[in-house]
A and B are shown apart, each in its own frame.
Chain A
Amino acid sequence: MKEIIRQIQAAVEIDPERSRIRLAGHEVAYHCEKFSTRIIRGLEDVLGVEEANALIQQAASESLYQPLTELSQAETNWANLTRSERLALIFEVFKILGYGAVTIAEANGNRTKVTSSNSYLAEGFFENAEQWRWSKRSAPFCHDMCGYLRAAFAVSDGVPLDRVTVKETTCRTMGAELCTFEVEVAQ
């Protein structure tokens, strides 16, 4: 696993003519928390929280599905890994990408509870809450993490994205200690 993480980290290239970045063969870009928190709040204002979550979750899950599938193909031992080992590898990739740390808190058949004490968007919310006068939220905020987890479970279980549902049930931006994501993979 360490080897594959090292390979990913070594695989960043900037094309100086186009100023576009490739990471392990996929075009990626950096953004900061100010941009994402603002955009996502803007989408929520216009669409409502649920629809914004659906749109962001869809975009996030689709964007990571292929790169994570390739990761699973590059890991020679993938077929022998348990589900939690596969997810642990994917969660290490999440850390490389700056999404914060996530862990499996509970696994029960096709339902899994994933938690994070520093999911990216929640961190971004707190980073700016005082300056931008954001008060405690009444709905979860980590819509992109829902999508990334959806891609992670689809790849770890070898199923299409539409078989996986993810719902954030507690969020630090609402005052919870941890963000909790309930993941279900349909049989």
Chain B
Amino acid sequence: MSIDHNAVREAFLSMGLYGDPENGLIRRFGVLLYIAPVDYWVARELDFISKMGASARKLSENVLIDAAHWCAYGTFGGIMASAEWAAMIAPHIQTVHDKLSGLVAVTNCLGWGHISDFQLDEQNQTLELTVEHSYYVGYWLDKYGKSERPICYMWTGVAAGYMDLLFGNKVHEFAAEEVECAAVTGGTRCRFRAERLKKKFAL
């Protein structure tokens, strides 16, 4: 990879990403960031899923994945247009693969878990993303035990959002699914696969 992920992490830490002492807002990377305990981010999604029960599971999952998909498209789009990106990452980008590598380096600074690998097939426009220690998994296993279904909704939306940004013209040209989840296996690894939406229905 030509993007130095350690350097991105160091730069991220040195930015002092805290709220402005006057207005208490973190306006950086072209978006408004905020910091919360992982338990908050995860509880509001997983308690929602649990509350909705099995009969409404698909609907509730879609609500969460869709929110993350929009977020990834808007947020990472904002990040790629930001001064921070131009200074830190843009000079090292030559290929689509590099661009994704830059996005992964930034994503790995946000506290959501670690993207340890990605396979981008530019010809077929597919992405396989491997995430270790997804922040959902510990909460789910502690509170609900092993899951029968994948639960990393935000990551699913992020995988699709990356592809919309790299190959699409707007959000929702791509869709993703979680094909392996640590909450199901009891391990540490989750895997996601994204592809163009129309191909999904042309099987």
- Using CB atoms and an 8 Å cutoff, list the residues of chain A in contact with chain B: 9, 12, 14, 16-21, 23, 26-36, 38-39, 41-43, 45-47, 55-56, 58-60, 62-64, 67, 94-102, 118, 120, 123-124, 127-128, 144
Pick the contact of A62 from B34, B43, B132 — CB < 8 Å?
A: B43
A80 to B172, CA, bound (A): 55
Inside 8 A of A99's CB, which chain B residues have their CB? 19, 24, 34
Taking the closest CB of chain A, its distance from the CB of B66, in whole angstroms, is 7
Contact at A124–B32, with CB atoms within 8 Å?
yes
Beyond the given A20-B111, A35-B75, A102-B24, could you list 14 further A-B residue pairs with CB under 8 A, ordered by the A residue number?
A: A9-B18, A18-B114, A18-B133, A19-B110, A20-B38, A29-B135, A30-B33, A31-B33, A35-B67, A35-B68, A39-B64, A60-B36, A95-B19, A98-B19
Contact at A120–B64, with CB atoms within 8 Å?
no
- Interface: B44 (CB within 8 A): yes
Contact at A45–B25, with CB atoms within 8 Å?
no
Can you list 9 residue pairs at the A/B interface with Cβ under 8 Å? A18-B114, A30-B110, A33-B34, A55-B44, A64-B36, A64-B37, A97-B34, A98-B24, A100-B25
Closest 7 CB pairs of A and B: A95-B24, A29-B111, A19-B114, A35-B71, A63-B40, A21-B111, A98-B34
Contact at A34–B48, with CB atoms within 8 Å?
no
Contact at A98–B114, with CB atoms within 8 Å?
no
- Interface: B118 (CB within 8 A): no
Pick the contact of A32 from B38, B75, B108, B114 — CB < 8 Å?
A: B75
Taking the closest CB of chain A, its distance from the CB of B158, in whole angstroms, is 10
Pick the contact of B36 from A20, A29, A39, A46 — CB < 8 Å?
A: A29
